[in-house]
């Protein structure tokens, strides 16, 4: 279950990164076609801000990068936080009722 959660979250993070890259590429092509309109630039900027926040939460040694161990520690702590009934499994109720609020300093 733990590996499945980590793989799922990693897939979401990678998908978000890919989406940011796609939006950036679309933004560039849109800007070239119509320089006065940049419909995706706000979304790209928001994605970058969220990625930086996530990096700050995970990067315990403040190296500017997230190591495998930092990522695993972060995910384990998040799993424990989400597992409200402490049965070592996340169900739909726990995931849908979870509040995803930034907890600056929680994982440091």
List per-residue pLDDT tens for the chain, 108 residues long: 555 555 556 555 655 554 545 444 555 555 555 555 566 888 888 899 999 999 999 999 999 999 999 999 999 999 999 999 999 999 999 999 877 555 555 444
CB 78 within 8 A of CB 72: no
Backbone angles phi, psi at 102, to 5 degrees: -65, 130
Q: Number of helices and strands (H, E) in the chain?
A: 4, 0
CB 83 within 8 A of CB 17: no
DSSP SS3 for 104: coil
What pLDDT was estimated at residue 79?
Answer: 95
CB 80 within 8 A of CB 89: no
Residue for token pair 């076609």? 33
The pTM of this model reads 0.53
What pLDDT was estimated at residue 98?
Answer: 75
What pLDDT was estimated at residue 42?
Answer: 86
């Amino acid at each position: 279950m733990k590996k499945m959660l980590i793989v799922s979250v990693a897939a979401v993070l990678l998908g978000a990164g890919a989406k940011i890259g796609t939006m950036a590429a679309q933004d560039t092509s849109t800007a070239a076609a119509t320089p006065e309109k940049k419909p995706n630039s706000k979304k790209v900027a928001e994605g970058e801000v969220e990625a930086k926040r996530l990096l700050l939460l995970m990067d315990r040694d403040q190296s500017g990068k997230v190591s495998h161990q930092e990522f695993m520690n972060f995910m384990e702590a998040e799993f424990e936080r989400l597992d409200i009934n402490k049965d070592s499994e996340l169900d739909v109720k726990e995931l849908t009722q979870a509040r995803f609020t930034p907890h600056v300093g929680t994982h440091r």
